[in-house]
Each structure stands twice: as C-alpha cells, then as structure tokens.
C-alpha cells in the first residue's frame, strides 16, 4: 500500500498524467538541446548507455530493464542498428537475439556523455538540487508502486 508522504490536507489538482507529460516534454527538450550536434537524442543516449552498462542481452530483457514495451524498443533500436551504434547478434539459442553496443557506439556514447553531464548540471541548477533529488525520490516511489502492482497481477 502506498504511503502518503505529503500532508493529508494537500489534494492533487488537475490530471497527473498531463502534468507528468508536460514536465517530461520540457526535460526531454532540455537534454536534447544540450545534445544538439552530437547525432543523438536523449532517448538514444539512454538506450546506448543501458546496453553499454548491461552488456549483451536479449531485447525483451532490455525492454524490461528500461521499463518500455518491446515494440517501442524495436522501433528505437532500428535506426541505431542502421547507424552502426548497436548490433543484433545471436542469443543463447537459435531462436533468440542479443543486443550489444559496437565500438562506434561506445565511442559515441563516451563523447556524448560530456554533453549529457552538462545537461544534468544545468537541470540541477534550473530546478535546484534538492528539487531534483525530491523528484527522483517521488518518481522512484511511483515506479515501485507500479512494479508492486505488476507483481500482484502475476
């Protein structure tokens, strides 16, 4: 059961989904502006980073780790494979595939990481470090509640 961390007198006003989408669009624009000229959007940088950190893994496992649908992942992978940043190889058996980062992708990620860091620092300055930390905590709490719901549904 979710805990109410705010005072009980506070009542949400408006649509939570709309507010989250507004903020997400603005934050995505912020990061994309910092990544301009790198050849990557923030969603692609995130995908490269996950594949680089997690090592070769099945597309389904990657989708679960990134909390996205398999079809969304497939759409996002296609241009990155075509660009030579990621590759699909054989998986554990003849019916499975594995996603891995290429040397070109790893070098691009390393170069873009400086721009990502600048975007993160600028966001921390714009919103305030305490606000960003509180936002992370609230988002983690919300994601955990949905993951608990997913487990309960199984």
Compute the residue count for the chain: 154
Extents of the domains making up the chain: 18-153
Tell me the pLDDT tens digit for each residue of 24-78: 999 999 999 999 999 999 999 999 999 999 989 999 999 999 999 999 999 999 9
Tell me the pLDDT tens digit for each residue of 65-114: 999 999 999 999 999 999 999 999 987 777 889 999 999 999 999 999 99
With both helix axes pointing from N to C terminus, report the angle between 16-35 and 103-127 in degrees, rounded to the nearest 10: 120
- Are 116 and 43 contacting, i.e. CB atoms less than 8 angstroms apart? no
**CATH 1.10.10.10 corresponds to the domain 18-153:** yes
């Amino acid at each position: 059961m979710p805990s109410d961390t705010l005072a009980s007198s506070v009542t949400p006003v408006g649509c939570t989904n709309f507010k989250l989408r507004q903020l997400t669009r603005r934050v995505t624009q912020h990061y994309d502006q910092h990544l301009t000229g790198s050849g990557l959007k923030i969603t692609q940088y995130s995908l490269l980073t996950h594949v680089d950190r997690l090592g070769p893994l099945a597309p389904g496992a990657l989708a679960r780790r990134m909390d996205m649908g398999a079809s969304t992942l497939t759409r996002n992978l296609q241009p990155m494979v075509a660009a030579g940043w990621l590759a699909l190889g054989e998986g554990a058996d003849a019916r499975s595939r594995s996603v891995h980062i290429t040397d070109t992708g790893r070098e691009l990620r390393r170069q873009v990481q400086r721009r990502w860091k600048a975007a993160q620092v600028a966001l921390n300055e714009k919103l305030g470090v305490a606000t960003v930390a509180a936002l992370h905590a609230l988002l983690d709490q919300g994601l955990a509640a949905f993951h608990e719901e997913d487990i309960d549904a199984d």
